[in-house]
């Protein structure tokens, strides 16, 4: 074994680490100002507990504890938070607003901005079925992108019950499942083949084939309603309409597209679903929706809505949009020729908000300048017993 790191993990070197921290700070700020409280869940838990959330897959990292118990690294925060809410927070007044910034683990093929360990920021609003709660989740996603300065982003919203309503009309579970699978993979060639071979109603076939067209602005609602008589599907449209009405109040509809053709691979969504993206990245930036049945698996039926965004993907987009902050502020190197004075001077500069290194190597002035140039330090200050002078200034 060499000194490499395994596939799927990476180091954040100082420049990336500080930038990541700034991004996290800004997101934390946004979440806090919307009344969300940050929580931290364990990095690993009992496999069976995470499995209750049905988010465990072949990609879940599993391992044995010393007593032989099966453990798993978290692959998202939604399930651990649902467990936390159903147990330790069960007596708190609802709704609860919780947020997190955490690393998650998936033994997946390494993808765009998704290593096997990656960082997520997200929120969960737990204990409300109201469209206003869905709208808050969506508006907060928009707000997070805005706070980060992301350009040209969009958030698509859909409703899983629409497709489910239409599919229950066709009555055949086998075909329903096949159709769902090809829609998840957006395999429209496969969809046509399945529909051509099946004997389901012509109207339903037409809706399923037209599904990709059910995307756009508010006009989509009427088109989606006109296509079906199914009550469940109609209620889904009305639900998304109510959510959209609240979003108009938030003033964020410029960033919103409605898409009834959106299908998620996760089974646990029960209502509104959302996906955020920009033209600069070939994959989604954030993802989420309503999941009303998850916490009942932990014994406390609580409706909930939430989203998570991928931090590395966000960083990739910001970099591609030229929004990576260049300068990290002024830095000082103090050369102590008189220690008490030098340390006092360094302290003053720190209080003014600067970043200050005090030389511990006993560098001469020339050596100090070489060091400062190599590290991009802005000022070198020589502090003697009677005075201090700037012996180097970055050009």
Partner 1 sequence: MLSIAVSKGRLLDSFAEILEKAQYPCDVLQEETRKLVVESSQAGLRFILAKPADVPTYVEYGAADLGVVGKDTLAEADKNVAELLDLDYGRCTMIVAVPQSLGITDVSELDFNSRVASKYPGIATEFFNRKGIQVEVIPLHGSIELGPLIGLSEAIVDITETGRTLVENGLVVIDSIMESTSRLVANRVSLKVKRQEITNLVNAIEGVL
In this structure, what are the phi and psi dihedrals at residue 363, rounded to the nearest 5 degrees? -65, 140
We find the least distance from the C-beta atom of residue 167 to partner 1, in angstroms, to be 20
* DSSP code of residue 116: S
We find the least distance from the C-beta atom of residue 15 to partner 1, in angstroms, to be 24
Instruction: List the structure tokens of 338.
Output: 């008189």
Is the CB of 90 or the CB of 320 nearer to partner 1?
A: 320
Is the CB of 30 or the CB of 263 nearer to partner 1?
A: 263
We find the least distance from the C-beta atom of residue 323 to partner 1, in angstroms, to be 18
Determine the straight-line distance between the first and last CA of the chain, rounded to whole angstroms.
45
We find the least distance from the C-beta atom of residue 153 to partner 1, in angstroms, to be 10
CA distance 198 to 175: 8
We find the least distance from the C-beta atom of residue 158 to partner 1, in angstroms, to be 12
Is the CB of 126 or the CB of 179 nearer to partner 1?
A: 179
Contact between 332 and 377 under an 8 Å Cβ cutoff? The reply is: yes
Is the CB of 70 or the CB of 110 nearer to partner 1?
A: 110
Interface residues with partner 1 (CB under 8 A) are 111-112, 154, 156, 185-190, 192, 212-213, 215, 257, 259, 277-279, 281-284
Residues in the chain: 395
Partners of residue 276 on adjacent β-strands: 155, 286
Is the CB of 14 or the CB of 282 nearer to partner 1?
A: 282
CA distance 270 to 232: 12
We find the least distance from the C-beta atom of residue 100 to partner 1, in angstroms, to be 25
We find the least distance from the C-beta atom of residue 284 to partner 1, in angstroms, to be 7
Maximum alpha-carbon separation in the chain:
95
Instruction: List the structure tokens of 371.
Output: 């060091």
Is the CB of 95 or the CB of 158 nearer to partner 1?
A: 158
Neighbours of 261 (CB within 10 A): 19
CA distance 240 to 250: 15
Instruction: List the structure tokens of 241.
Output: 């309409």
Is the CB of 111 or the CB of 348 nearer to partner 1?
A: 111
Provide the strand spans (E) within 293-345: 304-310, 331-336
């Amino acid at each position: 074994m060499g000194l490499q790191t395994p596939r799927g993990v990476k180091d954040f070197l100082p420049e990336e680490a500080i930038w990541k921290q700034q991004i996290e700070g800004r997101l934390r700020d946004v979440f806090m100002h919307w009344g969300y409280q940050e929580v931290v869940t364990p990095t690993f838990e009992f496999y069976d507990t995470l499995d209750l959330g049905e988010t465990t897959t072949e990609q879940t990292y599993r391992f044995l504890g010393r007593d032989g118990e099966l453990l798993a690294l978290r692959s998202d925060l939604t399930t651990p938070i649902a467990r936390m809410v159903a147990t330790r927070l069960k007596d708190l007044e609802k709704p609860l607003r919780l947020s997190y910034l955490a690393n998650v683990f998936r033994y997946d093929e390494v993808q765009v901005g998704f290593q096997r360990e990656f960082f997520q920021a997200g929120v969960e609003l737990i204990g409300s079925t109201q469209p206003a709660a869905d709208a808050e989740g969506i508006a907060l996603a928009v707000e997070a992108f805005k706070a980060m300065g992301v350009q040209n982003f969009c958030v698509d919203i859909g409703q899983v019950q629409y497709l489910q309503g239409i599919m229950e009309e066709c009555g055949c579970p086998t075909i329903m499942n096949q159709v769902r699978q090809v829609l998840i993979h957006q395999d429209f060639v496969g969809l046509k083949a399945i529909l051509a071979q099946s004997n389901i109603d012509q109207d339903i076939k037409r809706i399923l084939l037209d599904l990709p067209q059910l995307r756009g602005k508010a006009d989509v609602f009427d088109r989606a309603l006109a296509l079906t008589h199914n009550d469940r599907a109609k209620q889904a449209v009305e639900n998304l309409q109510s959510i959209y009405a609240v979003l108009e109040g938030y003033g964020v509809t410029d960033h919103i597209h409605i898409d009834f053709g959106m299908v998620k691979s996760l089974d646990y969504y029960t209502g509104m679903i959302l996906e955020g993206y920009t033209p600069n990245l070939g994959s989604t930036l954030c993802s989420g929706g309503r999941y009303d049945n998850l916490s009942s698996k932990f014994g406390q039926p609580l409706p909930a809505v939430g989203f998570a965004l991928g931090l590395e993907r966000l960083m990739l987009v910001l970099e591609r949009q030229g929004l990576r902050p260049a300068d990290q502020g002024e830095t000082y190197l103090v050369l102590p020729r008189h220690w008490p004075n030098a340390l006092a001077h360094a302290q003053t500069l720190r209080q003014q908000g600067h970043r200050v290194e005090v030389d511990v190597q006993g560098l001469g002035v020339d050596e100090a300048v070489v060091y400062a140039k190599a590290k991009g330090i802005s000022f070198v200050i020589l502090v003697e017993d009677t005075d201090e002078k700037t012996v180097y200034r970055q050009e």
